[in-house]
Chain A
Amino acid sequence: MAIKDRQPLAGEMLQGTLDLLILQTLVLGPAHGHTVAHAIERRSEDVLQVEHGSLYPALHRLQVRGWIASFWGTSENNRRARYYRLTPAGRKQLAEQTSHWDRLVRAVNQVLRPVAE
């Protein structure tokens, strides 16, 4: 029985990108949702302005796919918080997607800015 993955908040293009960004953020170590959201926002120099809420469906999806795992921990200000960490499968996925992304960017760049004669 197929289970539908719907993505009404993020567009087709953005979804894979968001996944990639989350995985990249978690390379540095386990983090909870709030941290991940702010990290993405900060590290993209505020270019990627997503609603922070849209992060949670993405986190859930990645977890179902087995690329990240979650556990309950304690936040900086001593609150119970859900932490996410990268799994080995996630690490592999990140490597693959990063190279795929690189190829894509190169290709798009070649179209937009052909090498000057």
Chain B
Amino acid sequence: MEWSRFVRRTEWDRERAEEVEQYIEIETADNLARGMPPAEARSAARRKLGNPALIREEIYRMNTIGFMETFWRDMRYTLRVLRKSPGYALVAVLSLALGIGANTSIFSLVDQVMLRTLPVRDPARLVLLHREDGLAGTAVEDNSESVFSYPMYLRLRDDGRAFSGVIARAGTAVTILYQANAESAGADLVSGNFFGVLGVRAAAGRLFTTADDDAPMAHPVVVLSHAYWVKRFAATPAIVNRTVHLNGFPMTVIGVSAAGFNGISPGNMPDIYVPITMLGAAVPTWNALDNPRFRWLNIMARTSAGIPFEKTRAAAVAAYRAALNAELARPGVHASDAKAYRNARLELRAAAQGINELRKNNQGALLALSAMVGLVLLIACANVASLTIARATARQRELRIRLAIGARRWDLIRQLLLEGLTLALAGGTLGLLVADWTTRTLLRMLPQDLAGDWVTAGLNPWLLAFTFATALLSGLLFSLVPAIQATRPDLAGALRCGAATAPPTGTVWLRKVVVTAQVALSLVLVVAAGLFGRTLFNIARIDLGFRPQNLLTFKVDASRSRPNLADSVAYYADLKQRISTVPGVTGVGAASGGPFSNSNHSANITLEGYHPPKPEDEVDVQEIAVNPGFFAALDIPVRAGREFSERDGAAPKAVVANEAFVKRYCSGRNPLGLHLMFGGSNHPVLDREIVGVVGDSRGTSRDPAREALYFPLSQWDKPSSLMFYVRSAGDAGLLGPSIRAVARSADANVPLWEMSPITLLIGDSIYVERLLAMLSVAFGALATLLAALGLYGIVAFTVARRTAEIGLRMALGALPGDMLRMVVLEAARLALAGIVIGSAAALALSRLVESQLFGVKAADPVILTCAAALLALVALGAALAPGLRAARIDPMSALKYE
């Protein structure tokens, strides 16, 4: 009703006008009837009524919504004012657009990597089961979180006390053969109730039910992920009920999961879902379904609605305890495990985001980036604030006049704030464009699987809300203080001063504070640029221990279709032989868990004559199966003894150690001829002999080489995928097609995947360092530029303001050099204050990014000194031009000017 008054008031006003007219008519008629002369009759009627305009205005205002009225009036004025100073508006909007756009862009990464919840029904009710005990797990491929055995999963699922649903998954890789085309694909082994409990719908066909999962190898069915369906099968619905071959097993495609659902482990995108009971097909070398000692499944559960969390937790712990006791009761439990069983604890972890590998891997870098863009925005705000103060100073006459003719101070502050917010919103809007461009540029710097599958550019309501909230906050930040400052009541008294004379010192003081802050913030960013730049430099030129140039790598896993180990090994030897004949190939290495293969096999060994400091300590090493020629192909130097050759068959058992191993475990003894065994025993049989020592090589750029033992593929007992390293005489990338061709001729059903020059793998593996380095350098440069502009502005302004004073001083005998020194010293004082504050801030903040650094300390004195020197130089440069202007002031004209 009240709003309708506001809307209807124009109509009412017309009515009222008419009514008032009528009053005059009637009153005039009455007056005439009383015998007044016509002219007097009318004016007497008007007198009786009073001022009709005032009456109408009073009624009009009765129906006013005060805030809206003033807002529109202020807004119109604001637009008029900003149109009059397009330069100021443009600079302000542009710097804010850069600052806000950068923040929006980084926030979109943060949002997608760290904040997004799984696209499933009610994700907030999902929990991940996490156990705390010493029981070893068995990784299939990617399950870094807690893992449980399949029997344990079944017990927890069937207990039913704690949860409304319990699901399990494990990731692996399989070969999918369809229409004579074999490809490696990511597979999630999932429980039959997986989709049902999550509430994921089918995009085509149907999804698994518990009936698809009730007995081992009974239901050869698969579900495709939406993305894989589109990519591999052109999104054809006809694929439903067709057969694909999974590691050679015929499996029926029963459906496609909903678009947007990419499994429950962001960072690991499954192409295909397979019932856990089909493990024999997915991982043919493995029989883990019945064995409680194989722990390999992630377990997630949905809590029941309306049950307090504590109760759920207690019920889950009870169920786990009961399951453990049942397992303990089975015969043949190892004594060492029994203790761990009794101490086992279960935790429930919130899993609305799933098992977020993305978050785990990128969190530190993203937080560092967020902090840096935050600083950039602060600097941009400081810059605009500084402009706004300068402008408020220039507008003082206007402000004083408005105060003098009765404007309240709040009216002026409101007006100035509105101008700021208008600029900020314009900056925010333009910032959306900047953000879009920046995000696309950032995505090009990310590894392809990350950028393509998990992080995309694009707007959503969250992002919009973030952008405009940031804009409003920045608007307040840069306009509130100047507004309060510029409208200080004592300024009103200064109305009598002329326009050209000095503005009050308060605003200059404020600008100095802003410039000092800018210098300080810039220093922090320059230090960050130094640290991250140094990190990238260190990590990019780290000695990897092998020669990465002209080295092509790919992965292959023959064990998927050849469960018999000897068959796989024979295939690998054949493949190696065929690749060696490709023109341009000068060496072929193959290894399980070699450099940059992302796989890592650890083993516990017993070494002749070595006793660990504590008897219960395990002698932990990395075990790597390699083919003869591996060290030569990678250019890993042989330091002593020999490397493997074709003559190393199944026996005698030979191993090659790396230097880290020799250093740690041989303690001065000659490693050659030492005997050892894999594993431990009360009656060890040291069946392997060290026949050679090779140089250390790193598995990734960041991690130093671990103690490693190499052994020949021919003596291998744990089949898994291999990485091949093909050394070429020229560009490694050119070998791809020929290698694929010879691999097809070896066995068309064994796919090669992830084929890439190793230099690209290395590049992708340090994308975080590269991103941080490039962005911090860009931000540091931008910040320094803005600080230089700010410093120049304030110094030039002071020189202009003090023209008369300088003229007077020079007339009294000061030398131009004195004036130059005076001006430069003033700038130096500001810069020095900023540098001191910034150094303290940089020391405090850089500790937070220590984990992102490599080969450089957070408090690196050289970097800090260089950053300080850089800013000091920049400050000097910024002050030099106005300083020289001061030195050239002609006393006569300066005094006349006054």
A contacts, CB < 8 Å to B? 1-9, 32-34, 37, 51-54, 56-57, 60-61, 64, 75, 77, 79-82
A75–B22 CB distance below 8 A: yes
- Bound Cα distance A8, B66 (Å): 16
Asked whether A33 and B19 contact (CB < 8 A) given A52-B49, A53-B51, A60-B62, the answer is: yes
- Bound Cα distance A80, B54 (Å): 23
B19–A82 CB distance below 8 A: yes
Given the complex, which residues of B lie within 8 Å of A60, measured CB to CB?
Answer: 12, 16, 59, 62
B59–A57 CB distance below 8 A: yes
Per-residue contact bits, chain B 327-366, to A (CB 8 Å; 1 contact, 0 not) = 0000000000000000000000000000000000000000
Q: Does B25 contact A (CB under 8 A)?
A: yes
- 14 extra interchain contacts, Cβ-Cβ under 8 A, other than A5-B62, A9-B50, A34-B26? A3-B2, A3-B64, A4-B64, A4-B66, A6-B61, A33-B22, A34-B22, A53-B51, A54-B50, A57-B62, A60-B16, A75-B22, A79-B22, A79-B26
Given the complex, which residues of B lie within 8 Å of A37, measured CB to CB?
Answer: 23
A56–B55 CB distance below 8 A: yes
B65–A33 CB distance below 8 A: no
**What's the minimum C-beta distance from B155 to chain A, rounded to whole angstroms?**
62
Who on chain A is nearest to B26 by CB? A34
A51–B49 CB distance below 8 A: yes
Who on chain B is nearest to A9 by CB? B58
Given the complex, which residues of B lie within 8 Å of A79, measured CB to CB?
Answer: 22, 25-26
**What's the minimum C-beta distance from B541 to chain A, rounded to whole angstroms?**
66
Residue among B19, B20, B67 with most chain A CB within 10 A? B19
- Bound Cα distance A80, B25 (Å): 11
- Bound Cα distance A37, B55 (Å): 15
- Bound Cα distance A2, B68 (Å): 11
**What's the minimum C-beta distance from A101 to chain B, rounded to whole angstroms?**
24
A-B contact pairs, 22 of them (CB 8 A): A1-B68, A3-B2, A3-B64, A4-B62, A6-B62, A8-B58, A9-B50, A9-B54, A34-B22, A52-B27, A52-B48, A52-B49, A52-B50, A53-B50, A54-B50, A56-B55, A57-B59, A77-B26, A77-B29, A80-B22, A81-B26, A82-B22
A56–B22 CB distance below 8 A: no
Q: Does B6 contact A (CB under 8 A)?
A: yes
Q: Does B52 contact A (CB under 8 A)?
A: yes
Q: Enumerate B480-506 residues with CB–CB distance to A below 8 Å.
A: none
- Bound Cα distance A4, B67 (Å): 11
- Bound Cα distance A64, B16 (Å): 14
- Bound Cα distance A97, B729 (Å): 107
- Bound Cα distance A81, B25 (Å): 11
**What's the minimum C-beta distance from A80 to chain B, rounded to whole angstroms?**
7
Given the complex, which residues of B lie within 8 Å of A57, measured CB to CB?
Answer: 55, 58-59, 62
The 8 Å CB contact of A3, one of B19, B26, B65, is: B65
Q: Does B453 contact A (CB under 8 A)?
A: no
- Bound Cα distance A5, B67 (Å): 14
- Bound Cα distance A53, B20 (Å): 8
B59–A56 CB distance below 8 A: yes
- Bound Cα distance A2, B61 (Å): 12
Who on chain B is nearest to A3 by CB? B2
**What's the minimum C-beta distance from A104 to chain B, rounded to whole angstroms?**
26
Given the complex, which residues of B lie within 8 Å of A32, measured CB to CB?
Answer: 22, 26
**What's the minimum C-beta distance from A22 to chain B, rounded to whole angstroms?**
14
Given the complex, which residues of A lie within 8 Å of B52, measured CB to CB?
Answer: 53
Q: Does B462 contact A (CB under 8 A)?
A: no
A53–B49 CB distance below 8 A: yes
- Bound Cα distance A2, B66 (Å): 8
Q: Does B63 contact A (CB under 8 A)?
A: yes
Given the complex, which residues of B lie within 8 Å of A53, measured CB to CB?
Answer: 20, 49-52, 54-55
**What's the minimum C-beta distance from B122 to chain A, rounded to whole angstroms?**
38
- Bound Cα distance A33, B389 (Å): 56
Who on chain B is nearest to A41 by CB? B48
- Bound Cα distance A59, B15 (Å): 13
**What's the minimum C-beta distance from A4 to chain B, rounded to whole angstroms?**
6
Given the complex, which residues of B lie within 8 Å of A9, measured CB to CB?
Answer: 50, 54-55, 58
Q: Does B5 contact A (CB under 8 A)?
A: yes
Q: Does B3 contact A (CB under 8 A)?
A: yes
Given the complex, which residues of A lie within 8 Å of B5, measured CB to CB?
Answer: 3, 64
Given the complex, which residues of B lie within 8 Å of A77, measured CB to CB?
Answer: 26, 29
A61–B62 CB distance below 8 A: yes
Asked whether A34 and B23 contact (CB < 8 A) given A1-B3, A53-B51, A82-B15, the answer is: yes
B22–A3 CB distance below 8 A: no
Given the complex, which residues of A lie within 8 Å of B22, measured CB to CB?
Answer: 32-34, 75, 79-82
**What's the minimum C-beta distance from B253 to chain A, rounded to whole angstroms?**
60
- Bound Cα distance A56, B54 (Å): 11
Who on chain B is nearest to A54 by CB? B50
B61–A51 CB distance below 8 A: no
Residue among B51, B58, B63 with most chain A CB within 10 A? B58
Residue among A33, A34, A37, A80 with most chain B CB within 10 A? A34
Given the complex, which residues of A lie within 8 Å of B6, measured CB to CB?
Answer: 3
Given the complex, which residues of B lie within 8 Å of A81, measured CB to CB?
Answer: 19, 22, 26
- Bound Cα distance A54, B57 (Å): 12
- Bound Cα distance A9, B63 (Å): 16
Given the complex, which residues of A lie within 8 Å of B16, measured CB to CB?
Answer: 56, 60
Who on chain A is nearest to B68 by CB? A1
- Bound Cα distance A2, B5 (Å): 11
Given the complex, which residues of A lie within 8 Å of B25, measured CB to CB?
Answer: 79
Who on chain A is nearest to B45 by CB? A52
Asked whether A33 and B55 contact (CB < 8 A) given A4-B62, A64-B62, the answer is: no
Who on chain B is nearest to A75 by CB? B26
Who on chain B is nearest to A59 by CB? B19
Given the complex, which residues of B lie within 8 Å of A64, measured CB to CB?
Answer: 5, 62
B55–A54 CB distance below 8 A: yes
The 8 Å CB contact of A52, one of B2, B12, B23, B61, is: B23
- Bound Cα distance A4, B20 (Å): 22
Given the complex, which residues of A lie within 8 Å of B3, measured CB to CB?
Answer: 1
Given the complex, which residues of A lie within 8 Å of B49, measured CB to CB?
Answer: 51-53
**What's the minimum C-beta distance from B17 to chain A, rounded to whole angstroms?**
10
**What's the minimum C-beta distance from A68 to chain B, rounded to whole angstroms?**
14
- Bound Cα distance A8, B50 (Å): 13
Asked whether A56 and B2 contact (CB < 8 A) given A8-B58, A34-B27, A77-B26, the answer is: no
- Bound Cα distance A5, B2 (Å): 12
**What's the minimum C-beta distance from B3 to chain A, rounded to whole angstroms?**
7
Per-residue contact bits, chain B 768-792, to A (CB 8 Å; 1 contact, 0 not) = 0000000000000000000000000
Residue among B3, B6, B61, B67 with most chain A CB within 10 A? B61
B23–A33 CB distance below 8 A: yes
Given the complex, which residues of A lie within 8 Å of B68, measured CB to CB?
Answer: 1
Given the complex, which residues of B lie within 8 Å of A75, measured CB to CB?
Answer: 22, 26
Residue among B2, B3, B18, B59 with most chain A CB within 10 A? B59
Q: Enumerate B210-241 residues with CB–CB distance to A below 8 Å.
A: none
Residue among B6, B20, B26, B27 with most chain A CB within 10 A? B26
B67–A56 CB distance below 8 A: no
Given the complex, which residues of A lie within 8 Å of B65, measured CB to CB?
Answer: 1-3
Given the complex, which residues of A lie within 8 Å of B19, measured CB to CB?
Answer: 33, 56, 81-82
Per-residue contact bits, chain B 1-39, to A (CB 8 Å; 1 contact, 0 not) = 011011000001001101110110111010000000000
The 8 Å CB contact of B67, one of A1, A6, A34, A51, is: A1
Given the complex, which residues of B lie within 8 Å of A82, measured CB to CB?
Answer: 15, 18-19, 22
**What's the minimum C-beta distance from B52 to chain A, rounded to whole angstroms?**
7
- Bound Cα distance A38, B583 (Å): 117
Given the complex, which residues of A lie within 8 Å of B20, measured CB to CB?
Answer: 53, 56
Given the complex, which residues of B lie within 8 Å of A52, measured CB to CB?
Answer: 23, 27, 48-50
- Bound Cα distance A32, B16 (Å): 12
- Bound Cα distance A34, B27 (Å): 7
Who on chain B is nearest to A1 by CB? B65
Who on chain A is nearest to B66 by CB? A4
- Bound Cα distance A80, B19 (Å): 9
Given the complex, which residues of B lie within 8 Å of A61, measured CB to CB?
Answer: 62
**What's the minimum C-beta distance from A45 to chain B, rounded to whole angstroms?**
18
- Bound Cα distance A52, B23 (Å): 9
Residue among A4, A33, A53, A64 with most chain B CB within 10 A? A53
